[in-house]
Every structure is written in C-alpha cells, then in structure tokens.
Amino acid sequence: MNFLFCSLTVLVMSILLICLSVRFKNICNALFLGSLIVASVLGLMAVFHVLISPVVEDLYLNIRMPLGEFYIGMDALSAFFLSAIIILFLISGIYGYGYLKTTEAKNLGFHYALYQFAFMAMMLVVVARNGILFLMAWEMVTLSSYFLITLHDERPEVTRAGHLFLLATHIAGFCLWLMFLIMASHSGSMNFDQMAACPFTPFLAGIIFILGLIGFGVKAGFIPLHIWLPHAHPAAPSHVSAVLSAVMIKIGIYGLMRVFCLVRDFPHWCAILLLLIGMISGVCGVLYALGQHEIKKLLAYHSIENIGIITLGLGIGLWGQIEHNSVIALIGYAGALLHVFNHAVFKGLLFLSAGSLIRSTHIGEIDRLGGLLKYLPWTGHLFLIGSLSICGLPLFNGFISEWLIFRGLFEGMFHLPMTGIILSSMGVIALVLMGGLAAACFAKAFGVMFLGNSRSIDNSLIKESPMSMCLPMAVLGVICVWIGFFPRSMVMFAFHAASVICSRPIPPEMGNVILSPLLMVIMILWVVVIITAILVFLKKKAMKVLPIQEGPTWGCGYSYMTGRMQYTASSFAESLLRVFRPVLGFKVSGVKPEGYFPKEAEVSSHVVEASEVFLFRPVFEFIKFLSGKLKRIQCGYTQLYLLYIFVFLLALLIWKMV
C-alpha cells in the first residue's frame, strides 16, 4: 500500500514538474521517462506485495475532500487490474516517446503531463474505496483521455471524435452518479465497505444493475453503446489508442466487477442480460471488424468483440454467484479477468505495431499496403504474434482465457437450471463463431498488409521503426508467449481476484483441476511444434544441394504482374460478409466490369453501423431540432431578455397569489 501511495505521489510530482518545464524539451523527456519508470516499478511492487501476502490493506488519509474522504485500498481484484494498467502504461509510454520524438507536434510536454495524469487517475479508479473518490477519479480519466485523443486536433475528424467521446462518457457519468447516490442513500455511506455490508432488495439491485450497465458499458463499449469507440481509436495517436483500448475500456469492466462485489442480491435476469450483451457485442463486433478497411478501425471493433468475450465470462460468473455455485462463479470471473489482462497485452501489441506500420508508411488503409514483412520484420512478426493471440490460438495467451470462459460455460450447461443451459449453449456457440471470424479477420489483415506484393507504394523506401518503439512491442510479445506457455501464475492470480468478487474461498484442488487439461494441451502442441521445427530444419538441410529459384510472390507464371492483381482485403472478407448480410447491413455499391473488354469500373463496400445510424443519429437529430427551436429565444435584443425576466417575475407573483 505504501508503495502504491509513493507511486501516486511520484506521478503527481512529475505532472507538476513537467508542466513547469514545458519549454525545455530534453528535461521534459527525461522527467517523463524517469517518473514513468519509477512510478511503474513502485506500483508493480505494490502488486507483488498483495500477491505474496493476501492481507487486505487499506489506506485512510484524513484529507477533507468535498463530500467524502480519501480512502484507498488494495485487494487482489484491484491488484489484478493495477498490474494490467501499469504494464500497459509503462510500455506505451516508452513507445510513445519514440513515436512522438520526430514529430514536431506542439506542446509535447503537456501531452506527457496528461499521459501521466491519465495514468494516475486510472490507478486511483481501481484502488478507490469511496464512491466520491471513485467518481472523481473516473471523471479525471475521462477528461485526460479526451485531451490525449485530441493531440492532433488540427484535423477536423479528430475534434469530432473527441466531442463524441466526451458526450458519450458524460452521459455515462450521469448514470454512475445516480447509481452511487442510490447505493449511498440505501447504505448510509459512500464508503465501499459499508455498501458491501448492506443488503439490497432485488428491485433496487435491478435498478443499480441497469444504471451500472449503461454507465460502465459506455466506457467498456458494449453494443449498442459503443459508438464513440470506432471513431476515437483511429483519431488518437497510436500509443494512446493502445492505452485506451487496452486499459481505459477495461476500467468499465472493473466498475461492473466492483459493483458485483458490493451488491450481491441481483435477480436472475441480470445474468441473462449480461450474457446476451456479451454474445451480441462479440459477434457483431467481429463482423463489423471484418468489414473495415482501415487497420486501426478494425482493431477498435475487435476491442468491442473482446469486451463481448469478457462479458460472457462475467455473465456466467454472475449466474454462478446468483445460484451459489462457487465453481461456475470462480471460473467465469477468472476467465473474464484473465481475458482482461490478455486482451490488454495483445491489443496493446496490435495497436502499437499498427502505429509503427502507419508511422513508416503513412498509410492506414489495408488495401493499399502489401508485402511489408520483409521491410518491417519487427513490426510484422510482432503483429503476427498479436494476431495469433487475439484469435485464441493455443500456445498464445488468448487461448488460456478463452479456454477458461469455455470451461465456465460448459460448467453452466451441466449445473444450471433450464434457462441457464440454453443461454450457456448459446454462449458457447457465439464464442466459437467469434473465434472463427476473428481468425478470418486477422488472416485478412495480416495477409494483405504483410504478405504478397505492395499495392500502391514503393516498399523499398520503407524503414523499420527505431528500437525505442520495437523493444516495448517485443516486451508485450514476450508476455503473450509467456502466458501462453506458462499459464499457471496468471491463472492463479485471476482466481484470487475472482474469489474477491464473489467472496468465496478457492477450493484447494481448483487450480490443478482447471489447469491439468490445459497444460496437457500445451505440452502436446509444444511437442508438435518441436517436431515440425526439426522437420523444417532437415528439409532445409536436404534442399541445400538443389538449386532454389526465387520469384515474386503470386508470380504464378504471369509475364506482366502488377501489384493490383492480388486478393484485396475487401474481396477476402466479402464472401463472409455476404452470408451475414441480414444482420450486418453490408452495402456494395458501384459497377462490376462486364464483357470481354470491360471499361473502367469501380466497386466499393462498406458496413452500415446499425446502432449509430438507426438508434443514436435519430435521437441526436431530434435533440438538435428541439434545441434549434429553443435557440430562437436567444435573439440578441437586451430588451427581449428583460421581457423574459419581467414575464417570469410576473408569473411568480401571480402564482404566489393564486
């Protein structure tokens, strides 16, 4: 706990110092990197302390704040999220230093200070033990992320994305205030321990659940509340979008989990709702991702998909908690938690490598790239590791957490009542569908960008990013593979955190029962990999004597190959998208070439964002229409304004008399 407090203090000091020394670029950079590393190390020490001695430590500072106290505490749940936040902020920060070093952006010092501010605020959110402190930290996260997103605010779409983000998160913030006020008025205190000790009626718990679902769901990006997400991520600089996607949306999940700790008497429909949201977000997220042409937008939609997967775990865990089945609850929650961590790592890696790619080529559109693996070896191979992890393939970390969630859903099929069986089987089907579609999507993204030949630019001019960007990405890649090979420590950590949520002890044999089939699978695959490697090595050796001829990729004997005679990302995805046309709103426009000597033709396709076009736009248009009418009141004549006051006073007087 003391370590954590020191870490927060270091961050606050560094923010002040950076703001004071904005003019001196070198001092600013040194301060930023130094304080980031020191604060992260201190924070990680705090996390390890919780891991070693599972005694809950609280820090109660008697600082008089408006409406509440400065009350922070660490349990395994906080520590779990804290570890993800610290790792991602540290790595993205170092990467961001390399990323922004060459750009002549104005006020980099302030950007660094805001980055530290967001870091501090996010740490504060997960350790806050008081409702007011939590909400204040929450708003601090929102505001600092807004400024981080709008670093390049000279581009109009960036400003728009920032406004959308601010609007959406403020609506969410309103719901959260309401939720915490209800909880506080029922339990008589804003402190979390008193809230946890107080029983809630199912009706009240339902209202709290709905408010929390909206409030935290906007941040987390549940469909249909996700509209800010696909706009904000491409607009932000890459290290910021990595942090946003990896940890900022996860604190929405953290909030839900914390509410599950505090309020225990949820009715059944809450779990059903959560499972349904998970399925819809997951499947729609990955389908939308398939239809995207821009790499960062594609990754943003994949964040929604992964939030769906996490929500599935959360839903089955909640159901187990409601049914007092601690095995289901623990496995579901642990799967969700581990996927939070894993998604943070591999999505961070994917965003960082996408940023490195965009920085080298200045192109974000998938269909204009190609054949980059030879020229960007670090970026390309790390992107591959991230893709394999996000698809949930074995030997990588995504597999472990998805395994746990599958396991939770299968347990649900065996031990829950009828509705539970139906929903768990639907969840399994949805999860399978998501895995397959994600694999297709990343086959498309990786294949088109890194394999084949270049489609528009001269690849030989492209240079790999500097080491200050490649090394942080490599660290994330190593973490992906490490969890994939040796899952025990993180799985047990996740179980500890899960036991905090449902406040049940872990059965002593739990770890081995869950892990033994997993370890077996990994071992078998490990053997397969080794055998394949040996065979490849032998083949290379045997082939050495034969002459090897190298030709261009996709040469296939054509005499006049051009870069455009390749599969494009859109054509790769088209067949899948056609199947899902009824749910997706997939639109193809343009003329196809016809006849033996076709004239010039063009085809374009895009996916209609249903909730944005059919749900939010009409509502916002209506509000805009109403406020347009209201604007006529403000006409500029002082006389009329006086008349308003006069009429109002007169009305008050008459009302008072009648």
Partner 1 sequence: MIWLDMCLIAIVFMGVIVLGNNRLRTTIQLFAAQSFLLCLVPIMILPGFHAGILALETFVLKVVLMPLVFFWAIRHVSIRREGQPLISYGHTLLLGGVLIAGSFLISARLDLPVKISSNLLVPCAFSVIMIGFLLLVTRFKAITQIIGYLVMENGIFLFALLLLEKTPLLVEMGILLDIFVGVLIMGVIVNQINQEFGSASTVNLVNLKE
| Residue number, 592 or 656, with CB nearest to partner 1 | 656
Minimum separation from the CB atom of position 163 to partner 1 (A) = 18
Cα–Cα distance, 148 to 166 (Å, whole number): 12
Rule CB under 8 A: which of 579-618 touch partner 1? Answer: none
Closest CA to 379 of 469, 478, 480: 469
Coil, strand, or helix at residue 474?
A: helix
| Residue number, 414 or 648, with CB nearest to partner 1 | 648
| Residue number, 429 or 643, with CB nearest to partner 1 | 643
| Residue number, 619 or 658, with CB nearest to partner 1 | 658
> For 459, which DSSP code?
G
Cα–Cα distance, 278 to 275 (Å, whole number): 5
| Residue number, 63 or 653, with CB nearest to partner 1 | 653
Tokens of 395: 């030997």
| Residue number, 66 or 636, with CB nearest to partner 1 | 636
| Residue number, 589 or 634, with CB nearest to partner 1 | 634
- Which residue is listed with tokens 């950079």? 29
- Among 174, 269, 646, 648, which residue sits at the site for partner 1 (rule: CB under 8 A)? 646
Residue window 614-643: x/- pattern of binding to partner 1, with contact defined by CB under 8 A: --------------------xxxxxxx-xx
Distance set, CA 43 to CA 82, 107, 238 (Å)? 8, 28, 24
Q: Does 565 bind partner 1 (CB under 8 A)?
A: no
Please enumerate in sequence order all residues whose Cβ is within 8 A of that of 191, keeping only pairs 6 or more positions apart, or say none: 69, 71, 129, 130, 131
Q: Does 486 bind partner 1 (CB under 8 A)?
A: no
Q: What kind and span of H or E run contains 600?
A: none
Q: Does 657 bind partner 1 (CB under 8 A)?
A: yes
User: Can you list the alpha helix ranges (DSSP code H) found in 188-201?
Assistant: 192-197
| Residue number, 529 or 649, with CB nearest to partner 1 | 649
Kindly indicate which of the ranges 157-165, 306-314, 407-415, 649-657 contains the residues binding partner 1, using the contact rule CB under 8 A.
Answer: 649-657
Minimum separation from the CB atom of position 627 to partner 1 (A) = 13
Kindly indicate which of the ranges 262-270, 371-379, 400-408, 650-658 contains the residues binding partner 1, using the contact rule CB under 8 A.
Answer: 650-658
# chain residues binding partner 1, by CB under 8 A: 13
Minimum separation from the CB atom of position 646 to partner 1 (A) = 5
Cα–Cα distance, 75 to 51 (Å, whole number): 9
Q: Does 653 bind partner 1 (CB under 8 A)?
A: yes
| Residue number, 55 or 654, with CB nearest to partner 1 | 654
Minimum separation from the CB atom of position 630 to partner 1 (A) = 14
| Residue number, 26 or 638, with CB nearest to partner 1 | 638
Minimum separation from the CB atom of position 649 to partner 1 (A) = 9
Cα–Cα distance, 329 to 316 (Å, whole number): 7
Minimum separation from the CB atom of position 401 to partner 1 (A) = 52
Cα–Cα distance, 631 to 625 (Å, whole number): 10
- CB count, 10 Å around CB of 78? 26
Minimum separation from the CB atom of position 636 to partner 1 (A) = 4
Minimum separation from the CB atom of position 622 to partner 1 (A) = 23
3-state secondary structure 398-415: HHHHHHHHHHHHHHHHHH
Coil, strand, or helix at residue 453?
A: coil
| Residue number, 60 or 646, with CB nearest to partner 1 | 646
Minimum separation from the CB atom of position 158 to partner 1 (A) = 24
Contact present, 133 and 192 (Cβ < 8 Å)? no
3-state secondary structure 527-556: HHHHHHHHHHHHHHHHHCCCCCCCCCCCCC
Query: Given CA atoms 515, 517, 518, 524 in this order, what sign does their dihedral have?
Result: positive
Q: Does 651 bind partner 1 (CB under 8 A)?
A: no
Cα–Cα distance, 290 to 309 (Å, whole number): 17
Minimum separation from the CB atom of position 645 to partner 1 (A) = 9
Minimum separation from the CB atom of position 252 to partner 1 (A) = 36
Interface with partner 1 by CB under 8 A: which residues?
634-640, 642-643, 646, 653-654, 657
